[in-house]
Structure formats: C-alpha cells, structure tokens
Structure 1
Amino acid sequence: MADIFNDGWAWWVIALAVGVPVVLVVLTELVGAFSRRGNPIAGPLRLLRNWVVPAGAVFALLGFAIQSPADQVWVRVVATVFGFLLILLVLSSFNVALFANASPGSWRERIPTIFVEIARLALVVVGLALLFSWVWEADVGGLLTALGVGSIVIGLALQNAVGGVISGLLLLFEQPFKIGDWLDTGGVKGRVVEVNWRAVHIETGSGIQIVPNSTLSGASFTNLSEPAGPHSATTSVKFSTDDPPHEVMALLREIADALPMRVQGERASIDYAGSGAYGVSIPVTGPADAGRALSMYLSWLWYAARRRGFALDGDSTDPLTEPQRLVEAVAAIAPTLHLREEDTEQLLSSARLERYGVGEVVLPAGVIPDEVKVVLSGRATLALEIDGARIEFSYAERGEIVGQTALTRERTQSVTVAGDILTLVVLPLETVDALIRTRPRLAMEIGESLELKRKQAADRLAELGLGRGVISDR
C-alpha cells in the first residue's frame, strides 16, 4: 500500500476524484449567481466549468496519474485541446474585463468590433503557434515568416483599398457622430441612419446617400447635432433699401417668435448687414426641425411683408392692393354687415385686404383688438392656449367676423390662427361702431356670436376635463 502512494499517481487520482467535482460544484453556483445578476463574467466561468476543467482533468490523469509518456499521441492531443481551451478562456476573460463593462463614451466602448475580432484572431494564431511548438515540437518560424512576407505583398497590392478601410475604421473608433446625428459634409446634409465599417448611410429627405468612411475621414464635415442644446436654423433675406431697417428687423423677429418649432424661452437673432440684407437665426430643438422651420418662416414672411408693404426680395407687388379686388370684397361682405348702398364709399375709403399663410397667427390672445376683420375666403381656427398647447374649439369661415372683442373693449383669451390661406377684409373700429349704431340687428348678431363662441370654448374645456376658465371670444 505504501508503494502506491510512494509512486505519486495515487495522490493524483484522489485529488482528481475529489477536487474536480468540488470545483465543478463551486463553478456551477458562481455561474448561476452571476447569470441571475446579468454579469458578463458568467460566460468565462461557464467555459471554465464545461470545457477547461474537464479537459484539464483528463490531461492531468494521462500525464500525471497514469504517467503516460509525453511523446504519446493521445497525451499530445489532449494537451493541444487543453491548451486551446486555455487560450479561449484567457481571451474571453480579457474581453469581459476590457469591454463588457465599458463606460459609455470611453475609448473601450468606441473601439469597433472588427478591431477586437482582428486582435482576437491574431492572439489565437500566435497562441496556437506556440502551442504546436511546445507540444508537437513543430517549427513554426518558417510559417510565420511566410505569413509576414505574404502580408506585406498583399498589403502593397491592396494599399488603396485597405487604406480606405483602415481610415474608415479609425473614424469609427473616434466616433465624431452617432446614429441619429445630423451631418453636413458639404455635398450631403441629412440624418445618419446607419454606420458600418465601410460607409455611413445618410437620410437626406430625397433618399439614402451612402458616403464612404474614407471620404469622411479625409475631409471636414459638420456635426449639426453637437453640442447638445438648441440648434440654430439660419437664413438670409433681402429687402429694398427703402424699407426702414428697424421696422424690418421687428417684423423678422415677430414672425420667427411665432414659429411652433422655436425653443420656448429663446428668441430669434436678427442681424442687419446693410444694403437691405438681413441674417436670421432661429433657435429650434434640433436639425430635424431646421428645414421645416425655415420653410414655414419664409412662407409666412412673404405674406407678412405684403401686409406691411415691404419689398421682400425687392418685390412689393400684391394683387390684393388692386382697387377692383377691394370693391368685390366689400360687395361680398355686404350681407354680413347689413350694408346699404351709401355705405360702400365709406368702406372703400377705410377698409383694406389682408392675406395670411397657413398657420399664421391672425389675432393673438391677451390683446384688445383695434380692428374688426371679416373672413373673405379660407378658414380661421380659434384655439385656447393652455400650458403651451393649443386647444381648438371653433372656427370662422366666409362671412364671419374675427375680433368682435374690439367692440366690447375686452382682451382676447383665445388665439385666432389661419387654418387655410386666409383672406380678410379689415375694417377700422370706428367704421364698425358707426354701422352698429344705425343697425341694431348687427349688434344683436355680434352679441349672439360672442356668447356662442364662449359656450363652445367652455364645452371644449369640459370635454377635456379642464374645467371652466376665463374665456373670451376671438
């Protein structure tokens, strides 16, 4: 019995018979605990339990317990498998340690996956070469030399293509932009929808533009989404030099501040460059809103410039200013105001026509109107402004009056917005007052209209469960 233990192999058998089950049980508990927590270290531990420990036990049994010759084929095969599993375990452990818990924005998180895969492949090749050299006594020096020379030849032959790929991968490593950012590369402007090792896919609004990473890495571009915060939608406009600069700047800021895309609490910036040229910068939430904001702004500006008589782009002509248009308009609203033939001349001398673009504010909330407007064409929407949102409750169509509170000298609680391209006949307050004094029926109709709009607003608030507030007509 003593000879058995003196030879040493019995101790190895006992150690393997007792130690391997204990190690497997401990590893099983650890794998279960880390898996429940979602810890990535469970992966290497699972590899250690399922493959490395059993392979190591077989290798120890053959090499130390049975004491098989080291040059025996089965010993070398088992040693090779065990060594390969050790290489995989080391690589898996390093991957977890370096990249699995990488902080957002850190260099470890920015490394492209392809770089990690290439490095992993290189380490596996080197590890296998050393393993075959130690276990099988193979001469791998010549193979490594051949691979090195071959790599140089292939690299020289494909240096342009490979150079573009490498520059693109370096761009991915730096990550100056991410999916969802807006880029302006000079020739392409849009939102990044996909990034891979070869190219960036940019949604331009008219299709997907594919830009090679090597092109971006070799040229300058602008990330419109950085830094975080309000984005400026900028444009240049030109007026006639006869238009007073301060009045034009006030109009430009008024139109910009009315845009729904404007960041609340931020005002537009207006610069005068001389010779009738102005620069406008509108704060919006992001580049996605910039195009829509500028499109709406320039369309609203066209209508507003005509209403003020300014020459946008050097052109102040407006078909609405033709005298015949006003004559036709007064004839169209005559039933609404109960006009007589002798009233026509007075209205033609004091009234005017105005036109508003879709979405423009015709009459804001919280003001006492000094004019009365009659809808000639289009539709005006009435809405209550509550917590920055507009709640529509009524509308005014052809022949209806907008701004009746001018007659009662009350402030408006609702806002009136052009739902369509809206054309209005604008009447001075004194003209309408004179009509009401001689037409009791007109005064009664206006009063009934006021009460109806108040009721509609109250009903709309009650429908939304907001309760009754202080409500006024348009």
Structure 2
Amino acid sequence: MTPFWQQDWFWPAIVVIIGLPVVLLVLTEWQSNLQRRGNDLHKIIGLLRNAVVPLIAIFILSTQVTEAVDPKEVTANRIIGTVLGFLVIIFVLNGLNIMLFTNARKGTWREKIPSIFVDIARIVLIALGLALVFKLVWNADVGGIFTALGVGSLVIGLALQSAVGPVIAGLFLLFEQPFRLGDWLDAGGARGRVVEVNWRSVHIDTGNGILIMPNSSLAGASFTNLSRTGGTFPVSTEVTFTTDDPPAAVVALLQRIAAELPQKYPGTTPSAVPMGGAAYSVSFEVRGPSQEGDALAVFRLWLWYAARRAGLGLDGDTTDDFVTDERRDAAVDTIAPTLYLGADDAIALRPVVRLERYAAGETIMRPGVVPRALRFVLSGSVELRVPFEDEQLPASRVEAGDYVGQTALTREVVQTNQVALTEVTVLVVPVEAIDTIVRSSPQLAKDIGAVIDRRHQDVADALEARIAQLRAVAS
C-alpha cells in the first residue's frame, strides 16, 4: 500500500491547507499598509485576496477530487476555470491601469491620455482575454470572434467618423502640448484660462462663463498662448482727464501709480502717453495674463484717489464732495489738543491744512525722503514697513488719532514705507505751520521727539527679529 504522503492528492492538499492561510495573511497586511498610505493599489490587492487566491485554491481541490476522470472534461472545473480566468483578467488590467494612469505624475504622457482611449483599450483586452479563456477551457473556436471584432470595428469607425475626428484632434493637442491647464488662450476672439482638457473639447474660463471649444476647432485654426510670452505680459488701458489738466502732471501721475502696483513685473518701467484731447494711454507689464484683471482693478482704484489728491479731473470730473470746509474745520478741532492749540490758534490753522484720502494698499510715504508735513490719521489704519533686502518687514501700526511724518520737524529722512491698510483719511499740516506751533509750545517738540524715538526702536526691533530668524534657519 502506497503511503498517504506519496498519494497524488497529498501535496496539493498541503499547499492549500498551509499555503492559503499564509498567502491570505501576507495579502491582508499588504493591503492594510497600502490603504494607510492612501495607495489605490490596495483595491487590487483586496481583489487578489478575496477572490483570486481563494478561487485558485478551490480550483486545485476540485481538480484533485475529479482526478478519476479527465479534469478538463468536468463542467464544474470548466466553470471555475472560466470565472478564475475572468478574475485574473480584471486583476491584471486594473493593476496596470492604476500603476500606469491613476498614479501617473502630472505632466507625463500617461496623465494626458484621454480616459476614453483607456476605456476602449480595456474593453478590447477583456474581449481578447475572454476569447483566450474560452479557447483554453472550453476548446471554443475563437476565429469567428476576432472576425466579428474586426468587422464591428470597421462599421463602428465609419458610423462614428465625425465623432472620432475631435477625439484624434484632442489626442494630437494633448501630445503636442501647445498649452497646459492654467494657461491663458486667445482663440478666435475668445480669451480666458484653460480649466479642462478632455478627449473632445477644451474648456476656457472667459470670466463670463465657461466656453466649450471643440478640439477640432483649435487644431484647425490658429490661437495665441498668452502664458508663453517670455515671463511678462503687457497690459494697457486708456483713461481720460480734462483738457485743462497739464499733460505732464497727468503722465507723471499715471506712471507713478502704475509703478507702485504689486502686480507689476520687477525691473520694468511703465509708460504713459497723451492720445490727444483728454485721452491718455498707460502701459505696464505684469507677471502673466492671470494678473491683468487684478492689476487694472487696483490701478483704477488708486488712480481715483490719487487724481483727487492732485486736483486732476479724472473722467472729466473735477468735483470732490469729500473735501469741504466743514469737514476740514472739524478735523482741525479734532487734532487741536494734540498740537496744544487754543481756539484762536485752531482757527488760524484751518486755511493752511488740507484733507487727503488714500485707498487700501497705497503708499502714503516712502523711505529716503524728508517729509514736508505731518499727516494726522483721522480714520483707517497705516502700517509702517521696513525695507529689508527683498522684503517689507512690519514694524508698527498707526491708528486714528496718531500721525506720520514726524521727522519733518527734525528734517530727517523717513525709514519706513507707510502703507494704508484700509481707506485712510489724513489731515495734512505743513511743516512750516508745525515749526510755528513748536516755538510757542515746547511740549509739542518733546512729544514729537518721543514718537521719533519710539518709531526708530520699532524699526530696530523688526530688523533684529528678522536677522535672528535668518540666523536660526541657517544654523
């Protein structure tokens, strides 16, 4: 009698009894590890653990049980083999899809292939795989299947010729890469940012909605990629003043406002030219087309305030209802205690002061200049920023009731950029008036000196903190 360990069924049974739990345990740990790391491959490992491996074990046992007859002739074995073959096909195709396309890096050819081509390839491979399974398991004649697939593909291709054209055009666009997501295009008068590219069309956000442009239209016509202009993007706009405004003053104002825009490309110089009559054109460069809208919005906002401070008639409007004698007199009465003014002194000061307004983000005063006036903040908030290399370090804030330009009394240059954080209203008191007041009120000189010392200390503290931070990073 043959020992049981030499029986044909023994080693296959040992493989299933011992190998199956071990393999399932390893696959479970592998799946858990991938799932914790957020890797999509954990789904494929789950399919292998829950379906493919157990079915392989069942197939091994089933062939051993039916060993008395030809296992290939047993219907149950054929059904199990068919299901197992189908699961293996799904396992292989899904694994390849995740490794090649789902986890593809941005910008690679795999990430740019339209999903429809991946789906079509998957369907064709499944059909071929099933044909192979039926050939091996059921001894089926699969020649007819391949013939049907060929004829069907030809018929479908002819029927969908008009629909396939945009797909092919889209494929060429994806591989040629004349633009990418986020680029700005000017195509046939439509101008906007590319937000989606698929197998059929390109979606362009024009600001007034999403323009759906077929790939065939883009492939058969010329368009301009505004995002590939060598690092800068030109912006121009026209504005009007009055014919009584001096052109030189208007041009200087336009150039100054454009030069201070945060969107302006570093190292470039804005230009402004008269267009004849009351029209002027101003041009400057920004970092890209995406900043054009924001730059123009800020430019027009700041220009409105700056034109009124300069007494120029932007858009032909020379009126300013904000600057009135009543509002000016009330502002003088507000700052009178700070300047130690009596009633008569306050009345005498009214004709020499003026009201100014600044938009949020505007620079009230820049470092390196000697101020010619004290500016008392009536409303809003001003931040003092210290220039340091390519940075602007916040040093302190000036709120309503305080003032800037205190070094006008000592004729020292300003050390900080004085930037309006909100809309700011100031009362401008010329330095000549301050000198006169100080002669009769020495206490005012002491107060201004204390403010100067405090602001100098704020600047030193900001610089010291930043230098210490850089040293800590370097070490």
**TM-score by shorter chain over 0.5:** yes
> 2:129 maps to which residue?
127
Q: Give the conservation status (yes or no) of the 8 Å contact 1:382–1:393.
A: yes
Q: 1:279 to 1:215 in 2, by over 3 A?
A: farther
CA distance in 2, matches of 1:172, 1:51: 42
Q: 1:278 to 1:334 in 2, by over 3 A?
A: closer
CA distance in 2, matches of 1:142, 1:232: 61
> 1:54 maps to which residue?
57
> 2:381 maps to which residue?
381
Deviation for aligned residue 1:405: 2.5
Match of 1:109 among 108, 111, 118: 111
Q: Give the conservation status (yes or no) of the 8 Å contact 2:226–2:289.
A: yes
1:328-353 superposed Cα distances (whole Å, 9 cap, x missing partner): 67755665466869996x986x7666
> 1:243 maps to which residue?
247
1:294-319 superposed Cα distances (whole Å, 9 cap, x missing partner): 21122213443555577867x5x633
Deviation for aligned residue 1:144: 4.5
Matched position secondary structure for 1:319 = coil
- Say which is worse superposed, 229-238 or 70-79, in terms of deviation: 229-238
CA distance in 2, matches of 1:248, 1:66: 104
Match of 1:362 among 361, 364, 369: 364
> 1:318 maps to which residue?
318
Q: 1:196 to 1:13 in 2, by over 3 A?
A: same
Deviation for aligned residue 1:128: 1.5
Q: Which amino acid aligns with 2:299?
A: Y
Alignment pair present for 1:211 and 2:180 = no
Deviation for aligned residue 1:21: 4.2
> 1:472 maps to which residue?
none
Q: Which amino acid aligns with 2:212?
A: V
1:429-471 superposed Cα distances (whole Å, 9 cap, x missing partner): 335434544xx24x64575466479779989999xx979xxxx
Deviation for aligned residue 1:121: 1.5
> 1:270 maps to which residue?
270
Deviation for aligned residue 1:280: 0.7
Match of 1:27 among 7, 12, 23: 23
Matched position secondary structure for 1:211 = strand
Q: 1:36 to 1:224 in 2, by over 3 A?
A: farther
Match of 1:296 among 298, 312, 315: 298
TM-score by length of 2: 0.68
Give RMSD over aligned pairs. Answer: 5.1
Alignment pair present for 1:14 and 2:10 = yes
Q: Give the conservation status (yes or no) of the 8 Å contact 1:368–1:406.
A: yes
Q: Which amino acid aligns with 2:57?
A: P
Q: Give the conservation status (yes or no) of the 8 Å contact 1:24–1:49.
A: no
CA distance in 1, matches of 2:332, 2:60: 105
> 1:81 maps to which residue?
83
> 2:161 maps to which residue?
159
> 1:470 maps to which residue?
none
1:264-308 superposed Cα distances (whole Å, 9 cap, x missing partner): xx244324678564421134xx76654223211222134435555
Deviation for aligned residue 1:75: 4.1
Structure 1 gaps, min length 5: 468-474
TM-score by length of 1: 0.68
CA distance in 1, matches of 2:89, 2:380: 75
1:356-400 superposed Cα distances (whole Å, 9 cap, x missing partner): 33432222345421234466xx62523232562546533246xx7
Structure 2 gaps, min length 5: 467-475
> 2:405 maps to which residue?
403
Q: Which amino acid aligns with 1:379?
A: S
Q: Give the conservation status (yes or no) of the 8 Å contact 1:384–1:390.
A: yes
Matched position secondary structure for 1:369 = coil
CA distance in 2, matches of 1:382, 1:453: 16
Matched position secondary structure for 1:105 = coil
CA distance in 2, matches of 1:277, 1:358: 24
1:133-191 superposed Cα distances (whole Å, 9 cap, x missing partner): 44434444445444544444444444334444554566567777676x25345525247
Q: 1:95 to 1:55 in 2, by over 3 A?
A: farther
> 2:184 maps to which residue?
183
Q: Give the conservation status (yes or no) of the 8 Å contact 1:243–1:310.
A: no
Deviation for aligned residue 1:125: 0.8
1:14-48 superposed Cα distances (whole Å, 9 cap, x missing partner): 34223344543563465256446537487275378
CA distance in 2, matches of 1:353, 1:161: 67
Q: Which amino acid aligns with 1:160?
A: S
CA distance in 1, matches of 2:71, 2:291: 76
Matched position secondary structure for 1:385 = strand
Alignment pair present for 1:282 and 2:286 = yes
Paired residues, number? 436
Q: 1:402 to 1:137 in 2, by over 3 A?
A: closer
CA distance in 2, matches of 1:418, 1:341: 30
CA distance in 1, matches of 2:425, 2:207: 32
CA distance in 2, matches of 1:147, 1:257: 67
Q: Give the conservation status (yes or no) of the 8 Å contact 1:199–1:213.
A: yes
Deviation for aligned residue 1:122: 0.9
CA distance in 2, matches of 1:461, 1:56: 81
CA distance in 2, matches of 1:19, 1:420: 77
